[in-house]
Amino acid sequence: MTSAQIATPANASPGERPTTVHLIDLENHVFATDHKATVRDVANWWEFYCNEALGIGPNDVVFLGVSVKNLWMKKAIPWRKNLFWVVGHAGPNGADQAILASVYPPHAALTYRRAVVVSGDGAFINFAVRAKQAGMIVQVVAVEGNLHPNLAKAASIRTTIRRTSRRQKEINTSRLEAVHAASFAA
């Protein structure tokens, strides 16, 4: 399998993409850029992940992890087939431990060709190593500056999401709207 086949776009047909298990530490991504995230921020992140980033295929399975104190995030993400919420304790690595307890790499490798770890936390190093040993392709998706070096080494593929402040997003959006308005006016 080539890297082009592995890093398929979100809109790829099911035959073009490997079946994937997604392990998403939602707090790691949402709070990495804004410690006061809202339901809307979580919904925007989810829409980006599903439609523009990696995407979720019809045969993929998703484990979304949050700590009990951030269970409110569940409001932002619509139900879908093969999506499982896992809830961890409110302390450090609570969501990580809940996700990791849900997926056993040798078993996952029987069904899925790729594991996508959506976190930069070192808690996922052992999972990534074991998944690769089981024959899976391991893709790590981390926020810029938030990737543990040993998790980076354990990954087959690394994807970085840039940090963009809410203010910068507003500036970018208004610029984009101005360009679109100008192009329609012409």
User: Which letter does DSSP use for residue 165 in this model?
Assistant: -
Which among 20-29, 53-62, 81-90, 129-138 has the top mean pLDDT? 129-138
How many structural domains is the chain composed of? 1
Q: How confident is the model at residue 93 (pLDDT cuts 50, 70, 90)?
A: confident
Give per-residue pLDDT as tens, 9-43. Answer: 444 544 555 799 999 998 887 776 556 778 888 88
Give the pLDDT confidence of 96-146 residue by residue, as tens digits: 999 999 999 999 999 999 999 999 999 999 999 999 999 999 999 988 888
Read off the CATH number of the domain in which 32 is found: 3.40.50.1010
Instruction: Give the angle subtended at the CA of 142 by the CAs of 172 and 58, to the nearest 5°.
Output: 90
The whole model's pTM is what? 0.77
Least reliable range by pLDDT among 45-59, 124-138, 143-157, 169-183: 169-183
Residue entry with tokens 């790499």: 105
DSSP assignment of 104-142: -HHHHTTT-SEEEEE---GGGHHHHHHHHHTT-EEEEEE
Contact 128, 23 (CB under 8 A): no
Domain that holds residue 159: 3-185
**Residue 8: exposed, middle, or buried by beta-carbon count in 10 A (0-12, 13-18, 19+)?**
middle
Report yes or no: 50 and 9 within 8 Å, Cβ to Cβ: no
For residue 5, pLDDT beyond 90: no
Q: Is the pLDDT confidence value at 63 over 70? A: yes
**Mean pLDDT across the chain:** 82
Please tell me the predicted confidence (pLDDT) of residue 108. Answer: 93
